[in-house]
Amino acid sequence: MRARAGALVIAVALIGAAAAIAVAAARGPSPPGTLEGRVRGIASTLRCPVCQDLSVADSPSALATQMRASIAQQLQAGRTPDEIRTGFVAAYGGLTLVAWLIPFGLALAGLLLAVGAIRRWNRGSATSSAKPVSLAPEDRRLLDRALLAAQEDVE
């Protein structure tokens, strides 16, 4: 009987803990109360244009420092976090797609140039072996003399 009562108490405690965790997860994190906390919350969602692997909140760069100051000023002016993010994305994030596409474009252009060069090279080597080379009369006489001298040396 005591074992059943103990198991029941543990089950109720686990159910209560699970309910408390579910309520906390559903509510999400509470918004930061201080201006510094709100600035950090917004800055952590933006990437530093200088460092690019760090958020504006974590970057030590001068630009990130200026961006955090700008976020603070905009919050004090009454702008919402979404408005602030949109402004920074418009100012710094407009070239993101272009920056990703440029290397692929350059690689494709290089590949096309290489294919064209190989085709020209193959076409040039095929045609050069097919047609005889015409020499000027003086060059022809020189070549004939050199060939005759080479034949005499061999015999």
Whole domain around residue 37: which residue ranges? Answer: 33-94
* 110, 140: one domain: yes
* 122, 72: one domain: no
- The distance of Cα 45 from the centroid of its chain, to the nearest Å, equals 18
Q: What mean pLDDT is predicted for residues 130-145? A: 82
One-letter identity of residue 48:
C
Q: Into how many domains does the chain fold? A: 3
Last residue of a domain, one of 94, 114, 138: 94
Bridge partners, 55 (sequence order): 47
Last residue of a domain, one of 94, 116, 139: 94
CA distance 22 to 2: 30
Q: What mean pLDDT is predicted for residues 102-121? A: 91
* 78, 117: one domain: no
CA distance 65 to 58: 10
Is a pLDDT exceeding 60 seen at residue 127?
A: no
* 147, 103: one domain: yes
CA distance 42 to 101: 28
* 88, 104: one domain: no
Residues 6+ apart with CB under 8 A from 54: 47, 48, 64
Q: Binning pLDDT at 50, 70 and 90, where does residue 94 land? A: low
Tell me how far apart the terminal alpha carbons of the chain are, to the nearest angstrom. Answer: 123
More confident site: 46 or 154 = 46
* 113, 145: one domain: yes
Task: Determine which of 23-32, 73-82, 106-115 has the lowest per-residue pLDDT on average.
Answer: 23-32
CATH assignment of the domain containing 89: 1.10.8.640
Q: What is the rounded average pLDDT for all residues in the chain?
A: 83
* 86, 57: one domain: yes
CB-CB contact of 42 with 81 (8 Å): yes
pTM of the model: 0.45
Q: Binning pLDDT at 50, 70 and 90, where does residue 21 land? A: confident
Q: Binning pLDDT at 50, 70 and 90, where does residue 70 land? A: very high
